[in-house]
Amino acid sequence: MYPLFEIPSVGGPMLIASIATFHILPSHVATGAFWMAYFIERKSINENRPELMEFLKRFTLSILIFCFVTGSLTGVGIWYSATVISPRAISGLIHNYVWGWATEWVFFIIEIVTIYVYFYTFGKVSNKTHLRIGLLYALAAWISMVIITGILGFMMTPGKWLTTGGFFDGFFNETYWPQLFTRTSMMFAIAGAYAAVVAGTLKDGGRDTIRKIAGRWGLGGIIAGALFTLWYYTKLPANALENIQQIAYTSMMLKVSLVIGVVMALYFLLLAFGKGGFVSPVVGILMMVVLFAGIGGGESVREIARRPYLIPGYMYSNQIIGHDMAAKGVSSEVEKFNSEGLLTNYPFIPEDLRVITADNYLKAGEVITKLECVACHTMEAGGRNSLADLEAGLTAAGIVTDILDDLASSYMPPFVGTEIEKRAAAAYMSDILLGGEATDADWVVNGD
Ligand code: HEC
């Protein structure tokens, strides 16, 4: 069956989320760190402090190893996991933004080349040239963020793209600027937390100066980031804000990220203005883990807020196209699937499941349920947002009337398919998932 990739108990979206959340650490360190490095290198030259240069060597090498290895592994990991879990959404993204990605990769290449040149030319070229190489890296890295933010934001608020289909209409969407400013601020905070880890490994001189700089940049970044996040929230559509309040998981994640934001701000305050006795790699790494949890919270709120869509106003979370997109010549699938059937029209459905019979209804029901629900639910009891748990105690008929007929609340897409497909899905859920009594095949096939 295509295209369906299921991870029992945990759920596919959790896989993308964990890879993508981790990716934020190396990617934001890589974009933020060299603005700080530029500042520190100038200080080192102007105040004649060679020990700061020693820090920069260590900082750059660790970024080369940590950010470039884990960043590229997780970056590719996001592509792989998102492609198997949401192939139709990724296809939509590529068809619209292939030149956006191409531009982005040009800047990645500049980044990779300049960081190597920077590292291997310490002490070998004039101060001015070395500073310029660092600045070139910082700019290229930040421009890659300028590009990727447009494409990411498109998946949340596609803006005028929905009517025009234009590249820049989707790119400069309503959340573009607040998101760019938030990420730009947060890259300084994340780079600050990272610099504090490296500062902890220094023995003398530089250590105190660096942890103070890291603390100040971190504090400034996190305060600005919080303000821009508020601005971002004012640009979200009303249903996104409702989702955040209504879905228990999201409202909890929002609280987690707020609390961690405050904890990180206090940490940066201590780094910047405290005595600094606590600065060590262990404390630094611990705080990076705390920061990671906060990023996970904030990013999952952002991702889940767009439900029931992957591309709001166009494609539902389960990849069924929910609305016409005249500019691209794409029509909504909802009406067609409701009248002619999902199984008849969906690609790569096994031929013997196209028509539901008394023999195949459970297998057909499984396909329908998974195609429509697995984007947000796991099947088995005890799993994440598990259907077996949420529907416990219901019969197939109850599932049809209480759940499937009434699915389209603010965070779930409507059930799409014919009445017989609806009954087959309900029978699958009741018989197999809930261990309910075997549903009467005649009821499934004929409705009585
Ligand atoms: C876009 C994501 C999404 C899709 C697709 C989705 N659901 Fe849900 N569903 C949710 C969320 C989120 C909740 C609420 C969980 C919470 O509040 O913790 C939920 C809750 C439920 C509940 C609990 C009762 C209720 O109405 O809140 C049931 C039952 C349910 N879903 C069934 C289904 C079935 C069956 C499908 C497929 C036909 C489906 N869902 C598809 C996101 C989704």
3-state secondary structure (DSSP) of residue 448:
coil
Residue 373, ligand 1, Cβ within 6 A: yes
Dihedral sign, Cα of residue 300, residue 303, residue 305, residue 308: negative
- CA 290 from centroid of its chain's CA atoms: 18
- pLDDT tens digits, one per residue of 150-181: 999 999 999 999 999 999 999 999 999 999 99
Could you give the domains of the chain? Answer: 12-316 (1.20.1630), 336-446 (1.10.760)
* φ, ψ for residue 72, nearest 5 deg: -75, -35
Residues of the chain with pLDDT below 70 are 1-3
For 109, what's the count of Cα atoms within 13 Å in the CB-facing half-sphere?
A: 6
* Confidence at residue 1, expressed as pLDDT on a 0 to 100 scale: 42
pTM of the prediction?
A: 0.91
Q: Tell how far the Cα of 243 is from the centroid of ligand 1, in angstroms.
A: 12
Beta bridge partners of 316: 309
Instruction: Round to whole Å and give the CA distance between 91 and 85.
Output: 12
CB 134 within 8 A of CB 121: no
Distance CA(274)–CA(190), nearest Å, equals: 19
- Asked whether 107 lines ligand 1 (CB < 6 A), one says no
Q: Is 368 in the pocket of ligand 1 (CB under 6 A)?
A: no
- At 6, the amino acid letter reads E
Encode pLDDT of 384-443 as tens digits. Answer: 999 999 999 899 999 999 999 999 877 899 999 999 999 999 999 999 888 888 889 999
b/e per residue 281-296 (b: at least 16 CB within 10 A)? eeebeebbebbbbbbb
Whether residue 39 contacts residue 59, with contact meaning beta carbons closer than 8 Å, is answered with no
Q: Please give the structure tokens belonging to residue 420.
A: 């017989």
CB 317 within 8 A of CB 309: yes
Q: Give the number of the atom of ligand 1 that is nearest the alpha carbon of residue 403.
A: 29
Report d(CA 331, CA 318) in Å as an integer: 16
- Predicted pLDDT at 3: 66
Are 9 and 382 contacting, i.e. CB atoms less than 8 angstroms apart?
yes
Write out the two tokens for 31.
Answer: 């974009």
Q: Whose CA is nearest to atom 5 of ligand 1?
A: 373
CB 11 within 8 A of CB 385: yes
Distances (CA, A) of 348 to 1, 33, 40, 344, 358: 6, 47, 57, 10, 22
**CB contact set of 3 (below 8 Å; sequence gap of 6+):** 84, 87, 88, 319, 347, 348
Please tell me the distance from the alpha carbon of residue 304 to that of residue 202, in angstroms, as a whole number: 41
Q: Is any ligand 1 atom within 6 A of the Cβ of residue 375?
A: yes
Task: Tell me how long the chain is.
Answer: 448
376 touches ligand 1 (CB under 6 Å): yes
